[in-house]
Chains A and B, each alone.
Chain A
Amino acid sequence: SYVLTQPPSVSVAPGQTARITCGGNNIGSKSVHWYQQKPGQAPVLVVYDDSDRPSGIPERFSGSNSGNTATLTISRVEAGDEADYYCQVWDSSSDHPGYVFGTGTKVTVL
């Protein structure tokens, strides 16, 4: 089955840039979506189709995807960005198609 690997944690100072990677075999050929989840809350979509933002999501959130790595970038990090972040793809490569989530990354704002 398809596996998505994220770093367990990323720490960043306010105003700096956080980069969260999502590694997968030839992930560049798939559409990658990113979700933000704060404690006790449901996930929220922050980037879809590699680099697009849903309405209401700040421009500080951006994404890219190439080769074996997709990246979520949070610019000018704020305290409110502290959360867990998950990448996601649809895997149709096997005879058991389905969604795959990354292992998740906890972003800590110092």
Chain B
Amino acid sequence: EVQLVESGGGLVQPGGSLRLSCAASGFTFSSYEMNWVRQAPGKGLEWVSYISSSGSTIYYADSVKGRFTISRDNAKNSLYLQMNSLRAEDTAVYYCARDLGQLHDYWGQGTLVTVSS
């Protein structure tokens, strides 16, 4: 059974940093591209970042480019999102999602990030 479990969310002050993790199981993690998607409270879905299976290709949404860094450790079956210079508008539930040919076929349950003083 495919499982994606996010962790690392919490309360952080504006300008602070946070590192999210996504632990994958039930599939060959190293063969799949992965994504982070977020959802602000009461709002719609917003794609954040994409990473290829090897980590050699990375894309970011304009709203996070230069502040967020996506990475992966295929030996640990884990996906990461390093978030720096956080702003109030980054407050959201962050989901990791498996990529399957330009769509997201499995999602984690999400981790909440709150940016507030």
CB-based contact A42/B109 at 8 Å: yes
CB-based contact B45/A43 at 8 Å: yes
Tell me the dominant secondary structure on chain B's binding face. Answer: strand
The verdict on B59 contacting chain A, using a C-beta distance below 8 Å, is yes
State which of A31, A42, A84 has its C-beta within 8 Å of the C-beta of B102. A31
Cross-chain pair count, CB within 8 angstroms: 59
Q: Separation in Å of the B116 CB from the closest CB of chain A?
A: 21
Residues of A within 8 A of B110 (CB): 42
State which of A45, A86, A99 has its C-beta within 8 Å of the C-beta of B44. A86
Contact A33-B103, Cβ < 8 Å, known A42-B95, A98-B50, A98-B59: yes
Residues of A within 8 A of B1 (CB): none
CB nearest to B102 among chain A residues: A90
Residues of A within 8 A of B95 (CB): 42-43
Size bracket of the B interface: 20 to 34
Q: Separation in Å of the A8 CB from the closest CB of chain B?
A: 10
CB nearest to A90 among chain B residues: B102
* Residue ranges of B at the interface with A (Cβ–Cβ < 8 Å): 35, 37, 44-47, 50, 59-62, 95, 102-105, 107-110
Q: Lowest 5 CB-CB distances: which A-B pairs, in order?
A: A99-B47, A90-B102, A42-B107, A104-B44, A33-B103
* Residue ranges of A at the interface with B (Cβ–Cβ < 8 Å): 1, 31, 33, 35, 37, 41-45, 48-49, 54, 84, 86, 88, 90, 96-104
